[in-house]
Structure formats: structure tokens, C-alpha cells
Structure 1
């Protein structure tokens, strides 16, 4: 699998990442092991997890499998901290909480460092410089090799990345930002992606298949084994409207013309967008993951890419519109 630099850093990662959101919850040890082995054998290196996935079980399961199946040196393990199971405060970006969470993650993962440590979300109740200081401490102490953020809007990302660049050698530059990005969700193109490109921050798209909708499996009904038929139905429903249907129809048409799957078309589109380093893909089992990994040999023809751009184009109004062209 092709390797790409993560932002303006020397860290190289596979251009498809493996997500573990359901590990330890819906995905058991057998299926997780199959996914990890298939991913590694395909040349994949980037494994994305978080301290809250499965209440910590995703990290623990990953640590157990790495010890048995895959050499630690062959993987780029990325985890996150900052989300808290508190209805009154969803995020805690305080230095104390973050560093304690990192130590707990390392213990569950069975490793003395993570390759990429990410702040899971912006915490408006904590000064940003305190949150970023936790990244600096994690890197200087050797507990993390690189640092990033997740779910930061445009101004938050720009402020954080600029702050880190203001004192080179003292502050740890942001290597990445993780945000939802797909043909059904192109909101990052308004402010987040331009900021990331300008500041040398690599984008790691989550939900690159539009929460599963871009595979085409919801076109006529909700499959009984899908997320849409579980307690995660609210996660899928926003992408089942008429506008989404038109995009999915275009993806299916493109897939038919290329003799490939809608999944491959949707994933190839986001993988090759400017600023994107590695879409993070979640799967139920190794067979489903293998289908996603088959996109490695696919490059969309320009005419198909332009058609997909057009049918999924977000509406940009003031001040996002480029008024210099009017």
C-alpha cells in the first residue's frame, strides 16, 4: 500500500487507515484479529483508536492482538483522549485529564508510546494553550511521537496549529486533524481543509463512506445486519434524505461503469482529495475490510471525479464563496 507523509512531518502512514470504533463492543476478538492481519498483510500501517471506544476495550483488544499477531514496529498506532462519559461535560481538555488518559491508554495498549496522540475534541472550558501543553509534554516525555487534533472547526484548528508553530523547538507542531469527510459530508472544505493545507496539517477523514450509506446498501431498504437497524440508526439517518440519494445513485452509476463497487468509488474519491492523507475505514469483519483495501489499485478517471464533485457539491455562501471570481 502506498505510504504518505502525515502533514509536514517525517511520519509516513498507509493511505488507508483501519478504524476500531466498534472493537470490544460490536466487533469481538476473532473478527478484530482477522481485520488486523488482513490490513497488515495488505501493507496497512495506520491503526486509529481512542480511549473511549468500547469504554477502553478497543485499545485493550488492539494491544493484545499486536502482541500476538503483528510486530509493533510495523504499525502506526494513533489514539485519542479528551472525551468523557459525563452528560454535563462531554469533553475535558485539561492537562491533568489528558495526561492521565494517555497513561491509561498506554497501559491498555501494552506499549510505552503511541505514534500519534490526538485531542478528541475542542474543550471550550479549558484554555487552549493548556490543552496544547499536554501535547508538548506527551511528545517531550516520549509517550507520543507525533500529535494531532480531532473534531476542531476551522478557527480552532487554525489557532491551535499557529500557536504550535509560534515557538519551534518548544512546541510540537500539529501533524494531523481528524474530521468526517465524504461525498455526503463535505463541510470541511469550507474552512477546516483550507486551514490544514495552509498550515501543513494532514487530514485523516473519518466516516469516508458516509456512515455506510455510500456503499449503496440503504438504497432500497435497511439491511437487518447494518448499523441503520441497530441502536446506531440515528447515526445513519441524516444521510438517508433525497440529496444523499442522488449522490449515492451517481456513485453506483460510476461503479457500474468502472466494473467496481460503490464502496471503492466513494473511498477512492475521498482518498485522493487535496490535503487528505488517509481515510480511516471501519469494518465488521476481514471480508468487508478486504473489499475496502481493494481500492488501492483504483484511480478515478477525471470525468467521473468531476461528475461526483458536481453532484455532491456543497453550497457555499458568504463569506465562504470566492468573491474574487465574481
Structure 2
């Protein structure tokens, strides 16, 4: 599997990453172990998790597999903090104390003394960005994180954080949703990241599973859209606008003799700024299907057609 440089850093990550959103909730320890083993054997390195996934359960499960199923030093471990657990549910908190306490808790669950990449999961309007950035700097200076970045932040915050961090330690990455069904980051996040040398990690490259084509006729009983805790996550992409994009992907896939998800991943793979596309497979079979997309190359005419049908709405000031 191709290894790509993350922005201007020396860190290299596999262009396909393994997401763990469903681990310990919809993906049990046996399937998780098989996924991790298959992923590393295929040359994958980037494993993405978060303290908020299954309220820490995903990190605990991943930690139990590191060193046993695969050696810790064979993976690039990325985790996120900034959503604090309370009796009433998750609360966004990117204050210095919450981020550093969250990182310490993540390290305990993961069974390691450091993560390779530490991200702030979501913007916190109540905490000054300078304070959030100071926590990222402290995470690197203390050795608890090798590189730091942001997740789901707008372009101006990416630019501001990169400016505050300077060259050392620098802002290594921004993780954001990016697929044929969600191209919003092309307006400001991608230009900011390109100018500042920040690497891009794309989460949900399969449009929350919708680009597989599984929802074209109905909602499968075993799918995320039928799950009580993930139905709301998928629902925004089940409308007519998304359906037109999905049909274009299916037509392209039929013409190439490949699966729709392979076409969707191949479209994203040629995006030069994307260091890694993080797939959150629920089952080993789903992950193997994504790994099978390695050899798919889309003809220029198909790339142009997919670009046109999925083009994001733009206006002033991005376009005049």
C-alpha cells in the first residue's frame, strides 16, 4: 500500500487508514482483531480512533490488540480528544485541562506511552483557540504525542492554529469528512492546508456508507442506517441529491466491472492533498472490499463526470 507524507512533516501514513468508530459497539474483539491483522498485512499503517468512540471502548479494544495481534511500532496511532464525557452525555471541551487529561486517559486505554498523532476532535466555541493550541504544544513537548492537528475545523481555524504553532511543533494534519457526497472542505480547508503545508486525512470517504450503493432501494436491516445509534449519522445522505451522485458512481462501476465503493475510493485517491482516506469498516469483509480498491484507476472521462455530478455549491467570496 502506498505510503504518503503527511503535509510537510516527516510522518508517513498509508493512503488508506483504518477507522474504529464501530469498535466495541458494532464490531466485537474477534472482528476487530481480524480487521487489524488484514489491514497491516496489506501494508496499512494509519489506525484512527478517538476517546469518544463507544465512550472509550474503541480505544480499549484497540489497546488490547496492540502488541498481540500486531506490534505497536507497526502502526501510526491517531486518536482524538475534545469531547468530554459527562452523566448527561458528551460535552465539547477543548480547554487545556480537558485535552491533556483526555490524552492521558487515552494513553492508558491504548496501553502506550505516546500516540503518533493527536487531534482536537471538534471546534470549541467557548475556549480560545490559543489555549487549545497551547495544549497541543504541551502534548508534543511532553512526549505524549509525536504530531498534532485538528479535526472538523473550518479553514480559518486551521490557518490560525498553524500560525500559533509555528514551525515547531507545527500543525501536522487536519482530519475532515471528504467524499463524493461531501466536498465542502474544497472551499476553504483544502486551500488553507495546501498553503500551510498541513496534511489532510479524509474521514468517511464512502459517504457514511452510502456510496457503496447499499441504500439505493431500501435500508438493509444490518446497516448503519438501521442502527439506533448511527441512523442519524447516515440519514443526511439518503436524499435525492445524494442519490444522483450514487447513481453516477454505480454506472461508472458497472462500466469498469468494479464495485461502487472501489470507484468512490479511487476518486479520492487521486486527490493529491489527501494523505489518507480513513475507512470505518464494521466487518472484516467490508474492510477487505476497501482494500481491494488498490488497483482501480479511473479514466479521465469518468473522473470528470464524477467531479461534475458531485461539485459542491460555491459562491461569493470563493467564486465570483
What range is the shorter-chain TM-score in? over 0.9
- Match in the other structure for 2:118: 117
Residue 185 of structure 1 aligns to a residue in which SS? coil
Deviation, 1:2, is 0.5
- Match in the other structure for 1:191: 188
Determine which of 204, 208, 232 is the counterpart of 2:205: 208
- Counterpart-to-counterpart distance in 1, 2:149 and 2:141: 15
Residues 227-283 of structure 1: CA deviation (Å, up to 9, x unaligned) = 111112221111111111111010001111111100000011112213111010011
- Match in the other structure for 2:149: 148
- Match in the other structure for 1:19: 19
- Match in the other structure for 1:90: 91
- Counterpart-to-counterpart distance in 2, 1:37 and 1:45: 11
TM-score (ref. length: structure 2) = 0.97
- Counterpart-to-counterpart distance in 2, 1:288 and 1:257: 22
**Unaligned 5+ runs, structure 2:** none
Alignment of 1:94-243 (within 5 A): 94-165=95-166, 168-169=167-168, 172-231=169-228, 232-243=230-241
Alignment of 1:226-265 (within 5 A): 226-231=223-228, 232-265=230-263
Alpha-carbon contact 2:16-2:44 (below 8 Å) kept: yes
Distance 1:286 1:88, change over 3 A: closer
- Match in the other structure for 2:28: 28
- Counterpart-to-counterpart distance in 2, 1:109 and 1:243: 40
Residues 66-122 of structure 1: CA deviation (Å, up to 9, x unaligned) = 121101111000000101235697311111111111111111101111000001111
- Counterpart-to-counterpart distance in 1, 2:189 and 2:252: 28
Residue 208 of structure 2 aligns to a residue in which SS? helix
- Match in the other structure for 2:293: 295
Deviation, 1:307, is 0.5
Alpha-carbon contact 2:55-2:85 (below 8 Å) kept: no
- Counterpart-to-counterpart distance in 2, 1:88 and 1:284: 24
Residues 138-179 of structure 1: CA deviation (Å, up to 9, x unaligned) = 1111111111110101111111112222xx44xx21111111
- Match in the other structure for 2:281: 283
TM-score (ref. length: structure 1) = 0.95
Task: Report how many aligned residue pairs link the two structures.
Answer: 318
Stretches of 4+ aligned residues off by more than 3 angstroms? 85-89
Residue 172 of structure 2 aligns to a residue in which SS? strand
- Counterpart-to-counterpart distance in 2, 1:236 and 1:222: 11
Residue 314 of structure 2 aligns to a residue in which SS? coil
- Counterpart-to-counterpart distance in 2, 1:315 and 1:148: 27
Residue 266 of structure 1 aligns to a residue in which SS? helix
Q: Aligned-pair RMSD on alpha carbons?
A: 1.2
- Counterpart-to-counterpart distance in 1, 2:313 and 2:198: 25
- Match in the other structure for 2:62: 62
- Match in the other structure for 1:6: 6
- Match in the other structure for 1:72: 72
- Match in the other structure for 1:38: 38
- Match in the other structure for 1:269: 267
- Counterpart-to-counterpart distance in 1, 2:294 and 2:31: 22
Residue 174 of structure 1 aligns to a residue in which SS? coil
Distance 1:49 1:240, change over 3 A: same
